[in-house]
């Protein structure tokens, strides 16, 4: 019995150390692991490409009350970004020259309603969510609309609005993803 417990403890230690070393290796090699339902779960590689519609980006959220609430409610992870926020991965849906509107019914880009973009009034624990509004705005060179079109409950632009160019750290491309 003691021998089995000892073997299990060693196995857990080896697995934990392996996962730790792999996570450092991934970070150094520019690989992100996405485990959230906002984007396909899997591995994303940093690429040297321009920010255009449809690409995925990693960004540090701006320090403000909405992101403080998101961190405190665990909508976003803690991390190394200012404010103690973790990097977020989202897809670019609008950039310079696009016209964007955001209200409770959803997000409209150049007059087209984006799927799964309606705002929820409360989260899964019945706490109120921010109700961001933006009325027919043409984006300038430093503004981006970032969100998830996969998850209607994603914490994204429908609640925090536009993201400035200087918040975006990298463009990332899916390397290996799977569905839950």
pTM of the model: 0.85
pLDDT digits (tens, 9 = 90+) for 7-37: 877 877 776 555 555 555 555 568 999 988 8
What is the structure's pLDDT at 20?
A: 54
What is the structure's pLDDT at 170?
A: 97
Output the average pLDDT for the chain.
91
| Residue 98 CB neighbours (<10 A) | 16
Handedness of CA 69, 102, 81, 53 (dihedral sign): positive
List Cβ neighbours of 83 (8 Å cut-off, separation of 6 or more). 61, 63, 67, 68, 71
CATH class of 35-178: mainly beta
In the chain, where the domains are located = 35-178
């Amino acid at each position: 019995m003691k021998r089995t417990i000892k073997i299990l403890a060693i196995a857990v230690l080896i697995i934990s150390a392996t996962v730790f070393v792999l996570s450092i290796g991934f970070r150094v090699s520019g690989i992100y692991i996405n485990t959230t339902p906002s984007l396909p779960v899997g591995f994303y590689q940093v690429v040297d490409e321009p920010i255009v519609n449809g690409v995925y980006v990693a960004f540090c959220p701006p320090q403000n009350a909405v992101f403080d609430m998101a961190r405190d409610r665990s909508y976003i992870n803690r991390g190394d970004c200012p404010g103690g926020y973790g990097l977020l991965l989202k897809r670019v849906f609008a950039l310079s020259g696009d016209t964007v509107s955001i209200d409770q019914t959803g997000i409209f880009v150049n007059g087209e309603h984006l799927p799964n973009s309606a705002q929820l009034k409360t989260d899964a624990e019945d706490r109120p969510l921010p109700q961001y509004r933006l009325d027919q705005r043409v984006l300038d060179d430093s503004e981006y609309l970032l969100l998830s079109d996969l998850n209607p409950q994603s914490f994204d632009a429908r609640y925090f609005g536009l993201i400035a160019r200087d918040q975006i750290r990298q463009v990332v491309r899916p390397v290996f993803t799977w569905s839950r």
